[in-house]
Amino acid sequence: MGSQRSPVNFALSGDMVSVKFVNTLLMVLAAASVLAGCVADDPCLAAHRRAIPSPSGARRLDISTGPCPGSAPQALISFNHGSGGGGVFAVDDSMVAAEGRWISEDTAEISYPAAARVSKRESTIQYGKEHVTILYVIRPDSAR
């Protein structure tokens, strides 16, 4: 066979760094393609998501409302064009119609029906020195 190495002989010859790098790269690419499929917007979720900018536009209230299979309504607030923030409200019932609006730059309001099974309801959210107060309005059950 002389001095030529087959890929198998190359891998077995001790230069495992290159082989490990290629294997790691292939695993990363495979994982990225799987995650890309998960991140792609579900048409139902996209149709029931509202991004509501604060009066200055520096903050955003994202309301995700049902009725999408496997997804319950929730609200998130982000600061500084998405550099920080988090979830402030969630319910367990995918049929609940949650709504939101900004009262001022530092105050958001979320409304939901009285029959909703609330699993998360934060009164404030903070990012660094910035904060937002969240007010809640519970609507009569008929406004579900």
Q: Where are the chain's structural domains?
A: 7-39, 43-143
C-beta neighbour count of 79 within 10 angstroms: 20
Closest CA to 114 of 138, 142, 90: 138
pLDDT digits (tens, 9 = 90+) for 20-70: 554 544 444 444 433 333 344 677 766 678 899 999 999 999 998 766 666
CA distances from 142 to 83, 90, 138 (A): 38, 20, 11
Beta strands in 1-144 (DSSP E): 49-53, 60-64, 74-79, 84-91, 99-104, 107-113, 118-121, 124-127, 130-139
Q: How confident is the model at residue 92 (pLDDT cuts 50, 70, 90)?
A: confident
Where is pLDDT greater, at 12 or 84? 84
Predicted pLDDT at 81: 66
Percent of the chain past pLDDT 90, that is, above it, reads 39
User: Could you tell me if 132 and 106 are in contact, meaning their C-beta atoms sit under 8 angstroms apart?
Assistant: yes
Question: pLDDT digit string (tens) for 74-88?
Answer: 899 999 866 789 999
pTM for the model stands at 0.65
